[in-house]
Amino acid sequence: MIDLEQEKVAGQPGIPDKAKLRGFGRLRNVYSDLRNKLWSKEHRAPVFFTISSISLSVAQLISGIIIVHFISPHDVGLWTSVCLALAYAFFLLAGVQNGLSRELPYYLGAGKDGMARRLAATTLFYTTGSCVLIMLGGVGTVAFLIRKHSDTKLTYAVVAITFLIIFKFYQNYLFITFRSKNSFMDLARVQMWQAALMIVALPLLFLGFNGLLLRFVIVGALCLYLMHRVRPIIVSPTWKTDSFLLLLKTGIPIFATDYIFNCANTLDKVALLKFGGVEQVGFYALAGSAGAAFAIIPQSIGHYVYPRMSHQYGRTNNPRVLWSLVWKTTLIVLASMIPIAVVGSLLLPFAVKILFPKYLAGIHAAQITLFSTAIYGASTGAVALLSLKAWSHLIAQQLSFAGLLAVAPFIGIRLFASPLNGVAYGMLGANLLGAILSLAITFAATRRIHNMPTDPIALESALEPGTGVDTPAIER
């Protein structure tokens, strides 16, 4: 009897073991279901695009680290100052590309492919003309600098930024045309190649400042070529006045507010240049490199979500359906970026001390910028305002955010002993308040009274085939 009781007691621990096995089995099933769902045909494009965006972000971060290691703060500050021309040059595009970014997915969602192609052809025509003007302006500026016997580094920097602006104009047009899931797979492959090229071209930095410029130009040209090869919409540059007017009507409100926002976003460097000098701007480049690499994540998510919103709105014509995409986007961005910001801020001091001790003064500003960029990412869902053409809400969101970005760096300089840290803290506060305002305004826009669209659909009948646009299918 005793033996039987002992055997029975001894056998009892086997029951939890079976329960554990069943628990592990459930975990395996959950993991398998999650993996299959993420890599299903429906989710493959956004998952692969997110992976490629993170790879590009890491490559840009590594590149920024190596650049500040081999290039002096003064030279980095000079190049950063010249690069301000890139932001201001987009004024020449006058919102035409911004109009295409909204109208292209909208008309595709409405099933009007012919209209979408004509808008793309007109935008390409205008973009080509803008590139020619930039080239002429660059040549004139270089001739002026040579005549005045200006610093050779400044002259070479102007040559490099001229090419980069031209590349960026056409690249931005191509980026807008990637709107289907298949095209996003192609774009993800291009981004993977871009990340690889950024790393492979790093040895050019051994040539010093000239190597830095050469690297930017070569990588920019190769990436543009790769995007051009897989472009999903193949059209010839064709001028159509009606299409141009539609693009302007849609694009000018987007462009004007976005241009003001982008210009305001450069005032942190302007404030630092005024109160700290070129070298302080060079130290701030450490924060700029970390922030720019980190910002690729919300930018890439926004580039993917924005056409989905416009397509969904074109299909349903219901603004309320976009709010679920807005808050989901916000949660995804914050959940992915805040842990990276925490880890990056902890590792940054050790990395800077070992790899580029010349930039020790910029460590704290770089740490702040990581969190500032993560908080800025929370406003990504505000692209719904563009899809809705909620102009009053868009103007309120962009101008309020731009005002915060314009004022905050100067307030930070007044509040902190270090201009460098003051600017960084000012931008942190501006992004926090701006993100809160953006979400509140976007929520209000998606709850507005539902009206019939005012898009000039009648333009479709006025623009008949025979426009000179190439005939291949709109999507590969």
What tens digit of pLDDT does each residue of 355-409 get?
Answer: 777 778 888 888 999 999 999 988 988 888 888 888 889 889 988 999 999 999 9
Select from 436, 437, 301, 312 the least CA-distant residue to 380: 301
Residues whose CB is less than 8 angstroms from the CB of residue 95 and which lie 6 or more positions away in sequence, other chains included: 247, 248, 250, 251, 252, 253, 254, 255, 256
pLDDT at 17: 53
Residues in Cβ contact with 296 at an 8 Å cutoff, skipping those fewer than 6 apart: 53, 54, 56, 57, 60
> H helices of 43-200, where?
44-70, 73-82, 84-89, 96-109, 113-147, 152-177, 181-200
Instruction: Report whether 447 contacts 320 (CB < 8 A).
Output: yes
Rg of the chain over all Cα atoms, to the nearest angstrom = 26
424, 372 in Cβ contact below 8 A? Answer: yes
Q: In this structure, what DSSP letter does residue 417 have?
A: S
For residue 476, the one-letter residue type is R
Which tokens in the block code for residue 149?
A: 């016997």
- The domain segmentation of the chain, as residue ranges, is 50-452
* DSSP secondary structure letters along 168-204: HHHHHHHHHH--SHHHHHHHHHHHHHHHHHHHHTGGG
Predicted pLDDT at 45: 65
Q: Which two tokens stand for residue 429?
A: 């506060």
Q: Which of 269, 296, 358, 291 is nearest to 78 (CA)?
A: 269
**How far is the C-alpha of 99 from the C-alpha of 103, rounded, in Å?**
6
Structure tokens at 153: 């580094």
- With CA atoms as reference, report the closest residue to 265 among 47, 88, 455, 18: 88
Q: Residue 468 carries which DSSP code?
A: S
Exposed / middle / buried, residue 305 (Cβ in 10 Å: 0-12, 13-18, 19+): buried
Q: Which residues of the chain have pLDDT under 70?
A: 1-46, 179-182, 449-476
Using one digit for the tens of pLDDT, what is the confidence trace for 230-287? 888 888 999 999 999 999 988 888 888 877 887 888 888 888 888 877 778 878 877 8
pLDDT of residue 430: 94
**Long-range contact set of residues 221-224: C-beta below 8 Å, sequence gap at least 24:** 221/163, 221/167, 222/197, 223/171, 223/190, 223/193, 223/194, 223/197, 224/167, 224/170, 224/171, 224/174
How far apart CA 230 and CA 191 sit, in angstroms, is: 12
- Are the C-beta atoms of residues 406 and 282 closer than 8 Å to each other? no
Q: Map tokens 């902890």 to a residue.
A: 346
Q: Could you tell me which of 452, 474, 427 has the C-alpha nearest to residue 177?
A: 474
The DSSP output letter for 411 is: H
pTM over the 0.85 mark: no
Residue 10 pLDDT: 44
Q: Distance between CA atoms of 312 and 456, rounded to whole angstroms?
A: 18
